[in-house]
Amino acid sequence: MKIDVNDNIDFVELWKEGMRNWDGVLPERMVNDELEEAFWQQLIDKKTVEANEDPYAKKIQGFLDTLILPEDEVLEIGPGWGNYTFFLAEKANNVTCVDSSASVLEFLKRASEKKQFHRMQFIEDKWEEHTVSKKYDVVFGMNCFYRMYQIEKTLRNIQESAKRLAIIGMTSGPIQPHYLDLEKEYGYKIKYPRRDYIHLQNILYEMGIYANCKIILLERTYQFSSFEELITKNKAKILNEYVDDRHVEKVLEKYITEQNGTYRYKHDFHAALLYWEPERTAYQQLKPFMR
């Protein structure tokens, strides 16, 4: 069932366009599997199996705690270094992880052994190309869609693989506020995010899937070991060829705290989680609201 609300908007094409860089070209990491693997290997090398979760993930785990049942068999798509993997392994009956990165899966295997989680399976494959041999009670994926160009096929695969619940999510804006100041006060052009959870929700809607949406307020503190690093990293989203570092320094003043030569920048942002019951039709989801 496809729902057409506005024929002038194609959210699948908007998603594909959003994958391209500001020159209209797909970044090489989007199409080069070896480069993507090298990226993950570099990140994994900096992680330890004892402390692998990002601090902000705890609040998202808190919401997942209301959705996952002890008897659930869970399939996690693109687990990365395990922000949610071992929470799911502790909460559910068993967890299967699907990821295209051998480095990621090897890290998670080591971590699962260290944490003594024995009801876990690991599958190396691209989700959008993966054939699921059985249905899982819950299919979950968070921040895993950035390389998935065939997004409708990706979501359809989730829909067809989940029995009780499908849960997908992305961390979302707003962008760090100093960029808004740079645009407003000095006229810089900013690289705003080109894809967000709202694209996924609209694609699901056009597929006839009425997904619930939960927005969770998060915060992250960025730390910079030098003033030069502070300036360099906080102008990365400016499109202009020339940037006056004095402008960047000026707008950062009200957001930065400094202690013993270390600079900290607290940034409020959000997570959006979309979740639905795959075996309920659009009509069944609407029926409680119909008179």
Share of the chain above pLDDT 70, in %: 93
Q: What is the DSSP string of 202-230?
A: HHHHHTT---EEEEEEEEEEEEESSHHHH
**Segment 7-35 mean pLDDT:** 87
In 3D space, the residue among 256, 265, 252, 266 whose CA is nearest the CA of residue 181 turns out to be 252
- For 31, the enclosing helix (H) or strand (E) is helix 28-31
The sign of the CA dihedral 93, 41, 51, 64 is: negative
Distances (CA, A) of 38 to 32, 45, 104: 10, 11, 11
| pTM for this prediction | 0.90
Token pair in block for residue 206: 């056009």
Residue 277 has pLDDT above 80, yes or no: yes
- pLDDT tens digits, 211-258: 999 999 999 999 999 999 999 999 999 999 999 999 999 999 999 999
Residue 9 has pLDDT above 50, yes or no: yes
For tokens 């090897």, what's the residue?
106
* Residue 62, SS3 per DSSP: helix
* Residue 126, SS3 per DSSP: coil
**Segment 133-144 mean pLDDT:** 95
* Residue 227, SS3 per DSSP: helix
Mean pLDDT (the chain) is 91
Read off the DSSP letter of residue 129: G
**With contact defined as beta carbons under 8 Å apart, do 62 and 68 qualify?**
no
**Segment 258-285 mean pLDDT:** 86
CATH code of 11-179+192-219+269-289, in short, is 3.40.50.150
Total residue count of the chain as it appears in this document: 291
- For 161, the enclosing helix (H) or strand (E) is helix 151-161
For tokens 């996690």, what's the residue?
76
Q: Report the amino acid identity of residue 158.
A: I
Q: Based on the number of CB atoms within 10 Å of its own CB, is 179 exposed (0-12), middle (13-18) or buried (19 or more)?
A: buried
Query: How far apart are the C-alpha atoms of 152 and 242, rounded to whole Å?
Result: 39
Domain boundaries, the chain: 11-179+192-219+269-289
- pLDDT tens digits, 160-215: 999 999 999 999 989 999 999 999 999 999 999 889 999 999 999 999 999 999 99
* Residue 138, SS3 per DSSP: strand
Using DSSP bridges, classify how beta strands 162-172 and 262-276 pair: parallel, antiparallel or unpaired.
Answer: antiparallel
Q: Report the amino acid identity of residue 115.
A: K
